[in-house]
Amino acid sequence: MRIYIIVSVLLWMIVSGAFAHEPDTLKEVSIKEIVITENLKQTRNRQLTVQLEVADKNFLTQHFSGSLMQTLEHLPGVRSMDIGSGFSKPVIRGMGFNRVSVTENGIKQEGQQWGADHGLEIDALNVESVNVRKGPASLLYGSDAMAGVVEIMPPASPFQDQFFGEATLLGKSVNDLFGGSLLLGIKKGRFHTRIRYSEQRFGDYRIPTDMIIYLTQRIPIYNKRLKNTAGVERNINWLGEYNKGRYRSTYAMSNAYQKVGFFPGAHGIPDASRVKDDGYSRNIDMPFSKVNHLKASTRQQYTWDALQIRWDIGYQNNHREEWSLFHTHYGSQSPPDKDPDKELTFHLNTFSSGIKIRLFGSSGWEHTGGWDVQYQQNTISGYSFLLPAYKRFTTGGFWLTNYQATDRLTLSAGFRYDYGKIRADEFTDNYLAAYLHEQGYTEKEIAVNQIRSYPVNKHFGDWSGSIGLVWQPTGKHLFKVNMGHSFRLPGANELASNGVHHGTFRHEQGDASLNSERGWQLDMAYTWASNYITFNVSPFIAWFSNYIYLRPTGEWSILPHAGQIYRYTGAEALFAGGEVSTNINLPFHFNYTLTGEYVHTYNCDEHIPLAFSPPATLRNTLAWKRKNMELYAEHQSIARQTRTDRNEDATPGANLLHAGATLTIPIGATQAEITLSARNLLNTRYLNHLRFYRKVEIPEPGRTVQLIIKVPFHWPALSGSGSK
C-alpha cells in the first residue's frame, strides 16, 4: 500500500509540473563561461596518501543494482559478497566481514557483519555520495577498517530557501521487483530538514538453469526461479540540520527493515522435496531471516579561525532473527512454547562517541586528533546455538599530521592506540549432554563437551600508524605512497562461537586464545591526467603476522550431523595486487573507460590461498553523452578462480554484456530522469566466487532489465533569503 502512495505522488508531480506556468523562481542571469579542469575525486586524491574512489549521485543512479554494495562493485578494487538478489556486504581488495568499516553520518554501521549470510542494513535509495578509501584506515576509523572504509556522505543542504523533494519508482525484471521512494524536505534560513521513505518488494529471482547439484544430490529449479528468495525492504530516514555562523548541528534517525527468504535446498541437509513449486513466487516461507536496524546520531561542530571541534554520538539497535521449522538432532529437545520456529536471535545494542579536533592555522601544517569510545551488548535466544551473549568495549585515540612542504609535495604521518575488552557468557547445552550420554560417552567427555561456550574475559591493546607522501612533480603526474601498520581486535564469533551455522552448513568454532590481527601494508598509486586521457595504477602489498581465518581442522565434530570442525585460526598471510583504470574522452561525445583489478592471497603457514579470494576482473565501457541523453555498453570479463582454500571449489570465468541509457525530460518546472539498464544481456550462466550461494552451485541471476524514474521538485519557501 505504501508503494502506491509514492506512485500517486509521482504522477501528481508530473502532471502539476507539466502545466506549471512559471519555469523557475530564479532570475535568469548571464555569466562568463567556466571551465572545470578537475573533479572531486582528483581533488581529494591530491590530499590523501591512500587511494580514494568517489561515487557521486550520477554514478549511483547509473549503476544502481538494488543494494549499495552491488552498486559500488563497479569501482575498481571493490567487490560485493551477495546474499540472494538484494542484500550484500563489502569486500575491498580481497578482505571483508569485520575488516571493512561502513560509516554513515560519522557513525560506524554495527550489525551482525561477521556472518556470510548477513547483509548491510542501509537504504541505497537514500545515498547521494560515497567515498571509498582503499587500504589501511585503522588510524582514523579504528580497528575494523584495516582493509578500507565505505564512507556514506551526508546530503548537501540546498542554498536557497525552498520546499523540495524527489519521487522515485523502481522496477526490475529478474525478481519482479517493484519499489518506490519519496523524499520531502525544507530549507528555511538556518534550518534544513528532510525525510525519506523507501520500500521494495520482490519475488523469487530467476536463474539461467533448471537444475543444480549440491552434495551429490540433483535439485530441480522449477520455472528457473530460485524458490523462497522473495523479500521485502522498508526504510525511513530523517535528517535535521541547524547552522548559525561557525556552529553546525546535525541530527539523524533511520530505521531499516528487511525480510528475505533462504533457498530451502541450501539450508541444512539438502532435500529435493523442499524445493517443489508451490505456485507462488512472492511469498516468504521458512527458512527466512528478518532484521530491523534502528540508528540515531548527532554531530555537533564548531569552527574557529584555526581550530575545528566535532563530536559524533550514536546509538544503534540491530535485531536479527533466523526462522526455520523446528528441527533437532537431539531426541530430548522439544519445541519452545513461544515462537517454536525461531532458530536464532541476535539483539545487538551499540553506543558510540567520537571527538575529532583539527588544527589548521599554521602555514603548511594541519593536525587532526581524536578519541573514540564504543560499547556493545549482544543478547541471544532461539532453539539453536551458535554465538554466546557478550559485551564489548573499545576505546582509542589518534593523532595525524599533514605537512605541505611545497605546492607539489605533501607529507603525512600518524599514530593510534586502541584498547578493547570483551566478556562472553558461558553456555551449557543440556540437550547435548543427554545425547552424548545415550551415545555411550564417558562422564568426563560429557562434562567437557556439554559446555558449548566457555566464559571469555579478554583484554586487548594494540597500535596502528602510517607515513605517506603525495608528490605532484607536474600538473599531469601524481605519485602517492603510504606505508602503515594496522590491526583488528578479534570479534566475538572468532573467540567464542561453537555450533552449526546452517547458513554455511558447517560447525564453526572460535578460539579464546586468539590475539589481535596485525599487519603491515604498503600502498602506491600513480596518476597521469590530461585534458582527454586519465590513467591510474594503484598496486599494493600487505603482510599479516596473525591473519584470522576459518581453518578446516580435520577433527570430527561431536555434534550430530555436523561434519568436521572449522576453527578460527591465526596465520601468517600475504595479500598483493592492484587496480588499473583508464578514461579517454573521444570525438563525437564518446568516452571509453577501462578498469581492472587483481588480488593474490597466500596462507604462508599452510602454503595455500586464502578463502573468498575474488577473481581478476576487467571492465570495458563505451559511453556516449549529448545534452539530455547518455548511452553506454559494457563488457565485463571475470577470470577463472583456481586459487582456492581447502574445501573451496574453483569457479569458472565468464564474459558478460551490459547496457543502459539515461534520459532527462523537462516537465514544466522540473526535469524527470529515466534510467533503463540491462545486466547480463545474453542470459549467461555463471557463478560468483564470493556469493553466499556459490557453494551450492547456484548461478547468478539471469538477464535483468531495470527501470528507474526520478522526478525532483521544489517550490520557494514563504520568506527568507537563505542566509546563514
Regarding pTM above 0.85, the answer is: yes
Pairwise CA distance, residues 169 & 148, whole Å: 32
Q: Render pLDDT for 36-87 as a digit per residue (tens, 0 to 9).
A: 445 556 666 666 777 888 999 888 888 888 788 888 989 999 998 877 666 7
Which position has the higher pLDDT, 16 or 376? 376
Q: What is the 3-state secondary structure (H, E, C) of 682-721?
A: CCCCCCCCCCCCHHHCCCCCCCEEEEEEEEEEEEECCCCC
Pairwise CA distance, residues 67 & 125, whole Å: 9
Q: Which residue type does 327 have?
A: H
* pLDDT given at position 589: 94
Q: Span 277-304, mean pLDDT?
A: 93
Helix (H, G, I), strand (E, B) or coil at 98: helix
143 pLDDT band (50/70/90 cuts)?
confident
DSSP designation for 225: B
Q: What is the mean pLDDT of the chain?
A: 87
Which grid coordinates belong to 221? 529449479
pLDDT surpasses 50 at 521:
yes
Apex 482 CA angle, 476 and 485, nearest 5? 170
Q: Render pLDDT for 162-205 as a digit per residue (tens, 0 to 9).
A: 999 999 999 999 999 999 999 999 999 999 999 999 999 999 99
Q: Render pLDDT for 355-401 as a digit per residue (tens, 0 to 9).
A: 999 998 777 899 999 999 999 999 999 998 888 999 999 999 999 99
Pairwise CA distance, residues 275 & 686, whole Å: 21
* pLDDT given at position 248: 96
Cβ–Cβ < 8 Å for 698, 226: yes
Of 152, 131, 148, 129, nearest to 139 (Cα)?
148
Least confident of 285-289, 517-521, 564-568, 594-598: 564-568
DSSP designation for 141: H
Q: How many residues does the chain have?
A: 724
Q: Which residue type does 176 have?
A: D
Residue 333: φ, ψ to 5°:
-90, 125
pLDDT surpasses 70 at 281:
yes
Which grid coordinates belong to 476? 599531469
Q: How far is CA 491 from CA 38, 342, 515, in A?
A: 42, 24, 11
* pLDDT given at position 58: 86
Helix (H, G, I), strand (E, B) or coil at 111: coil
Of 232, 48, 242, 241, nearest to 151 (Cα)?
48
- Domain 34-716: give its CATH code: 2.40.170.20
* pLDDT given at position 85: 63
Peptide bond into 388 cis (omega under 30): no
Pairwise CA distance, residues 414 & 471, whole Å: 18
Q: How do the domains of the chain map onto residue ranges?
A: 34-716
pLDDT surpasses 80 at 678:
yes
Q: Which helix (H) or strand (E) holds 487?
A: strand 477-488
19 pLDDT band (50/70/90 cuts)?
very low
pLDDT surpasses 80 at 724:
no
* pLDDT given at position 436: 86
Q: How far is CA 107 from CA 143, 252, 278, 389, 393, in A?
A: 14, 10, 43, 23, 16
Which position has the higher pLDDT, 266 or 581? 581
DSSP-derived pairing of the beta strands 451-453 and 390-406: unpaired
Cβ–Cβ < 8 Å for 79, 614: yes
Pairwise CA distance, residues 597 & 616, whole Å: 6
* pLDDT given at position 403: 93
Pairwise CA distance, residues 328 & 429, whole Å: 13
DSSP-derived pairing of the beta strands 506-509 and 517-529: unpaired
Q: Span 464-483, mean pLDDT?
A: 93
Pairwise CA distance, residues 120 & 396, whole Å: 25
Pairwise CA distance, residues 639 & 617, whole Å: 6
Residue 561: φ, ψ to 5°:
55, 35
pLDDT surpasses 90 at 278:
no
Of 228, 324, 229, 220, nearest to 278 (Cα)?
228
Pairwise CA distance, residues 478 & 489, whole Å: 35
Q: Span 551-563, mean pLDDT?
A: 79
Percent of the chain having pLDDT more than 90?
56
* pLDDT given at position 503: 58
* pLDDT given at position 23: 38
Cβ–Cβ < 8 Å for 683, 208: yes
For residues 132, 138, 144, 145, the Cα torsion angle rounded to the nearest 10 degrees is: 10
What beta strand segments (E) does 69-124 contain?
Answer: 78-83, 87-92, 100-104, 107-108
Rg (CA), the chain: 26
Pairwise CA distance, residues 55 & 32, whole Å: 29
pLDDT surpasses 60 at 35:
no
CA 418 to chain centre: 24
pLDDT surpasses 60 at 6:
no
Burial (CB count within 10 angstroms: exposed 0-12, middle 13-18, buried 19+), residue 306 = exposed
CA 444 to chain centre: 45
DSSP-derived pairing of the beta strands 100-104 and 148-152: parallel
Q: Render pLDDT for 608-665 as a digit per residue (tens, 0 to 9).
A: 999 889 999 999 999 999 989 999 999 999 999 999 988 788 999 999 999 999 999 9
pLDDT surpasses 50 at 672:
yes
pLDDT surpasses 90 at 266:
no
* pLDDT given at position 12: 52
Pairwise CA distance, residues 648 & 367, whole Å: 46
pLDDT surpasses 60 at 692:
yes
Which residues have a Cβ under 8 Å from the Cβ of 88 and sit 6 or more positions away? 67, 68, 69, 70, 80, 81, 82, 119, 120
271 pLDDT band (50/70/90 cuts)?
low
Of 354, 165, 344, nearest to 267 (Cα)?
344
Percent of the chain having pLDDT more than 70?
90
Which residues have a Cβ under 8 Å from the Cβ of 132 and sit 6 or more positions away? 52, 53, 54, 55, 72, 75, 78, 92, 148, 149, 150, 151
For residues 384, 386, 391, 396, the Cα torsion angle rounded to the nearest 10 degrees is: -150
Q: Measured over all CA atoms, what is the biggest interatomic distance in the chain, rounded to whole angstroms?
A: 91
22 pLDDT band (50/70/90 cuts)?
very low
pLDDT surpasses 60 at 24:
no
Which grid coordinates belong to 583? 578514461
